[in-house]
Chains A and B, each alone.
Chain A
Amino acid sequence: MSNTNIIAVYEDEQVLLKAIDSLQSNDVKVKDVFSPFPIHGIWDKLKQTTRLPYATFIYGAIGAGLVFAFLYWTSVVNYPLKFGGKPLNTLSFIIIMFVLTINIGTLLTFLTYFIREKMYPGKKVEMPVPRTTNDQFAIVIEKDADMNEDQLKKINSLLNDSGAIEVKESTVNYEA
């Protein structure tokens, strides 16, 4: 893996989307894109997916099971206390199960998100183009050691032709 990236900076997300198309049709791999807000449709182009919904579903299912097990154990097994002639194992458990399923699902989804993103309070980061949190957009292309002059030239000219306001090389390792 090389530490150097080629960065192209844009001022408009539509121009950036077209640039990605032109790069990809020329067999240049786009490594990453920076933007101040989510650009819909970009994930299809970069073939990025997330399994977060599956994780949430599993958390919720396990949570519901555990909560029911606890309610059943306390009310039926450990201290069966009859009141009002109602059954020990009652339908009204559903309410607590429902709410706590959401509780567990939310909390664990939140934590999973941060763990997968490697984010934590106080993390120090360096951004290749700091203005991408504000009003600029950037395409990142990894500069491989085995890229020859011609390939680099082609990438540079593609980026310049695509409407980038700046094309530069950066050694900022933002993935750390």
Chain B
Amino acid sequence: MYNTRVRGILIQGNKSYQDVSRDIIKPLNDKTPMWWWITAFLATGALFWGVWGFYNTITVGIGTWGLNNNVAWGWAIINFVWWIGIGHAGTAFSIFLLILRQKWRTSINRAAEAMTIFAVMAAGLFPLIHMGRIWDGFFIFPYWNTRGPLWDNFNSPLFWDVVAISTYFMASFVFWYIGMIPDFATIRERTTSAVKKKVYGALSFGWIGNARGWLRFETAALLLGGMAAPLVVSVHSIVSMDFSVSVVPGWHTTIFPPYFVVGAIFSGFGMVLTLMIVMRKLYKFKDYVTDGHLDAIARILTFISLIMGTAYLTELFMAWYSGSEYEMFTFMKNRVTGEYKYAFWTMLTCNAIIPQFFWFKKIRKNITMVFIMSLFINLGMWFERYVIVVTSLSRDFLPATWATYQPTITEIAVFSGTIGLFILGVLAFFRFVPTIAISEVKGVLKETTTLKSFTDEQH
């Protein structure tokens, strides 16, 4: 059977159950710290700039973006794919690690899921806005209309995208919320503030935590998780099909679905690492998010980075091996060398080379280094999408139509707006919700703190 206890002590500091509740709820009761206000102020500024970008796009049109006849997709789709990728962390953490019985997930899953929700919200704005005529957005729903009725094209990956992403958002949210219910009840019973008792009482849906309640809770969590796991794989496969079902060189490859799914999990874990280091520093959660947790994430990233490197090399190899001169041109002349080579090499360095430094224990133990490397991964994954979208479109079959692409201020504004939205969401999560799953941590507390006696039993 599985040996799931190889990770040693998960929660440090010999905590009692009471300590766990107190430590995790403490930030909710403390005065709002200064860093929170400053970050919220900056994020609101970014959000307002994004609102301006939205307004500009909708009132003037897509002409405010740097797109042209050839490069018809730009920052909007790049950022969309980037955010969706980041949004894969929550489910990857919660569900894959739940299925693999990795108990170390308990300190991290709540925050990773919250991140998923806000990242998917940020991502969802891009398809909405890039329609140009946003008021016709309801055309996407297959409703009974007076044009035939003419239905959607159910064979289009763009339609699949809409279905998949809205389902993914709903499923992630439901899973996240169910997990929080017992913790809201904990706050309800502990708090002395009448307002909090009322609000968290309402949010806890009347949870009492009896045996049957827990049985159904566990079963529901497993069912929802089990259903969301294939969804993680399908969402990013579908996103990759937006590209791969076309005939554009550099997109038309069968490697795309797995390559995108792995890339999504890679960027998601990268963002989780960034966020966890910040959270444990600001809230002094070192006993819960231990060095062991960060070490585990770093190891996973090293492994996924190897897969990413393999995928990049496979693409290059296939460009040559396929004998297609267009593929060869896109990869060798337009990516490895050429106008956008800086983007290609940034991608390769950040995703395939830098994470390999995690092989060294010294680097894995140096949290500042880990933090910087996690930022590089986020950057590298952005450049990956940039390389895929822009280099393939800027120079395709007809040299007469070759064009370069530069983002305009409006596109930059919209992107910064989504970053602002994401950060505000995460800040609200930090402030009002227990950032670590209290009941789940309690569930693994005993068996890991009494690890020694457990291993004694084994022999």
Q: How far is the CA of A105 from the CA of B227 in the complex (A)?
A: 8
- Would you call A52 and B220 a contact (CB within 8 A)? yes
Residues of A contacting B18 with CB < 8 Å? 134-135
In chain B, residues 19-54, which have Cβ atoms closer than 8 Å to a Cβ of chain A?
Answer: 21
In the complex, B210 has a CB within 8 A of chain A: yes
- Would you call A36 and B216 a contact (CB within 8 A)? no
Across chains A and B, the number of contacting residue pairs, with CB separation under 8 Å, is: 179
- Would you call B154 and A74 a contact (CB within 8 A)? yes
Q: What interface size band does chain A fall in?
A: 35 or more
Q: How far is the CA of A33 from the CA of B211 in the complex (A)?
A: 5
Residues of A contacting B215 with CB < 8 Å? 38, 43, 48-50
- Would you call A96 and B227 a contact (CB within 8 A)? no
In the complex, B353 has a CB within 8 A of chain A: no
- Would you call B160 and A96 a contact (CB within 8 A)? yes
Shortest Cβ distance from A174 into B: residue: B208
Q: How far is the CA of A9 from the CA of B166 in the complex (A)?
A: 45
- Would you call B206 and A133 a contact (CB within 8 A)? no
Q: What interface size band does chain B fall in?
A: 35 or more
- Would you call A52 and B210 a contact (CB within 8 A)? no
- Would you call A110 and B174 a contact (CB within 8 A)? yes
- Would you call B202 and A127 a contact (CB within 8 A)? no
Residues of B contacting A132 with CB < 8 Å? 209
Which of B186, B216, B231 contacts A102, CB < 8 Å?
B231
Binds A, one of B111-119, B340-348, B419-427, B440-448: B440-448
Shortest Cβ distance from A33 into B: residue: B211
In the complex, B439 has a CB within 8 A of chain A: yes
In chain A, residues 53-99, which have Cβ atoms closer than 8 Å to a Cβ of chain B?
Answer: 53, 56, 60, 70-71, 74-75, 78-79, 81, 83, 86, 90, 92-93, 95-96, 98-99
- Would you call A102 and B167 a contact (CB within 8 A)? yes
In chain B, residues 208-239, which have Cβ atoms closer than 8 Å to a Cβ of chain A?
Answer: 208-220, 223-224, 227-228, 230-231, 234, 238
Q: How far is the CA of A98 from the CA of B171 in the complex (A)?
A: 14
Q: How far is the CA of A127 from the CA of B210 in the complex (A)?
A: 10
- Would you call B211 and A48 a contact (CB within 8 A)? yes
- Would you call A43 and B201 a contact (CB within 8 A)? no
- Would you call B217 and A79 a contact (CB within 8 A)? no
Residues of A contacting B208 with CB < 8 Å? 34, 125, 127, 133, 174
Q: How far is the CA of A52 from the CA of B224 in the complex (A)?
A: 11
- Would you call A75 and B151 a contact (CB within 8 A)? yes
In the complex, B69 has a CB within 8 A of chain A: no
In the complex, A109 has a CB within 8 A of chain B: yes
Residues of A contacting B224 with CB < 8 Å? 106, 109-110
Residues of A contacting B210 with CB < 8 Å? 32-34, 140, 174
Chain B window 345-369, contacts with chain A (Cβ cutoff 8 Å), 1 for yes, 0 for no: 0000000000000000000000000
Residues of B contacting A116 with CB < 8 Å? 216
- Would you call B223 and A131 a contact (CB within 8 A)? no
Q: How far is the CA of A154 from the CA of B446 in the complex (A)?
A: 31
- Would you call A120 and B17 a contact (CB within 8 A)? no
Q: How far is the CA of A136 from the CA of B228 in the complex (A)?
A: 33
- Would you call B171 and A43 a contact (CB within 8 A)? no
Known interface pairs A74-B142, A134-B186, A134-B189; A99-B160 also in contact (CB < 8 Å): yes
Sample of 15 more A-B contacts, CB < 8 Å, known A34-B210, A79-B150, A121-B205: A13-B446, A32-B211, A37-B439, A37-B440, A50-B219, A98-B234, A99-B163, A102-B227, A103-B163, A107-B174, A110-B220, A113-B178, A113-B216, A121-B203, A134-B186
Give residues in B with beta carbon < 8 Å to A.
Answer: 16-18, 21, 142, 148-151, 153-155, 159-160, 163-164, 166-167, 170-171, 174, 178, 181-182, 185-186, 188-190, 201-203, 205-220, 223-224, 227-228, 230-231, 234, 238, 438-440, 442-443, 446
24 residue pairs from A and B, CB less than 8 Å apart = A32-B211, A34-B209, A36-B17, A37-B442, A37-B443, A38-B214, A42-B211, A50-B219, A52-B220, A52-B223, A71-B154, A75-B151, A79-B148, A86-B155, A99-B160, A102-B231, A103-B170, A106-B227, A109-B227, A113-B217, A114-B205, A122-B202, A125-B208, A135-B21
